[in-house]
Amino acid sequence: MRIIILGDIVGTPGRQAVTQAIPVLREQYSPDLIIANAENASNGTGLTPDLYKKLVKAGVDAFTLGDHVYKKNHIIPTLQRESNIIRPANLSHKALGNRYMKLSVGSPEDNLPNIYVFTVLGRIFMSLPASDPFECCDQLIDDIKRHDPTAIIITEVHAEATSEKVALGWYLNGRVSCVFGTHTHTPTADARILPPTLGDGSISDHPSPSGGTAYITDLGMCGPTGSVLGRRVDRVLTYMTTNMPAPFDVATVSPVTSGIVLDLNPNTRLATSIERIELQADTQQPPFTAH
């Protein structure tokens, strides 16, 4: 089984880059699913129902959201109605939307395991209050496994602090198929299959030949790299050098599509490969141009 997971889609340049990249990704990798974080898709903050529909049409199969989940509150009916989009799981139980999603691949005759995806927010340096992500992961994994013992589980950690993402990766090692980070919009160079955690709590020196939990601290963004985390450089520098207000408009320079390609063994439910991908968009071609 092969899944492509894309980082935070930022504004119009990010949406255009993803729309252009998906046919290339499907031809090159033949994924069973393409998942993307879409919490910055609407002008850099939030997601609207119309943009959700456009990204579905472009070929994104499922969506995660982060701390900007409710910034465009008219997305709430979509969160309640659609089964392929989730809110962060460790918000209040009164928060609207699905805490996790169940995705299927192949035909019924293939009898492949279901894929469950959930997102937890970090608590270090994050503005949206959330409950303990470690405890939330425990509860959701237990709940999923109780109802579907053969489930493949993928966990997104939408967090600011690298230490918190890495800690959650080790905490979930051997319990889920993949832990990936988002939110910081900067890709990290640590994509790997984690070595096993031993019975005494220590870490093995060597990865298991049969696979394990895939991990990366941050996927990076789908958006303009000629920017400060997707925002116009001049606007951010004005604010940082003068302390004067400046609108953080979404930049447009050098858009890319960033993410990972994840290979899973459906029998063991272990990851066998994780590869970081980054496709530079061609802004002289559709959908950036009218022709």
For the question of residue 74 being annotated catalytic, the response is no
Q: Which of 68, 158, 183, 185 is catalytic?
A: 68
Contact 82, 63 (CB under 8 A): no
DSSP characters for the chain?
A: -EEEEE-EE-HHHHHHHHHHHHHHHHHHH--SEEEEE-TTTTTTS---HHHHHHHHHHT--EEE--TTTTSSGGGHHHHHH-SSEE--TTS-TTS-S-SEEEE--S-GGG-PPPEEEEEEE--SS-SS----HHHHHHHHHHHHHHH-TT-EEEEEEE-S-HHHHHHHHHHTTTTSSEEEEESS----S--EEPPPBPTTS-B-SS--TT-B-EEES---EEEEEESBTTB-HHHHHHHHHH-------B--EEEEEEEEEEEEETTTTEEEEEEEEEEE--TTSTTSS--
Question: Catalytic residue positions?
Answer: 68
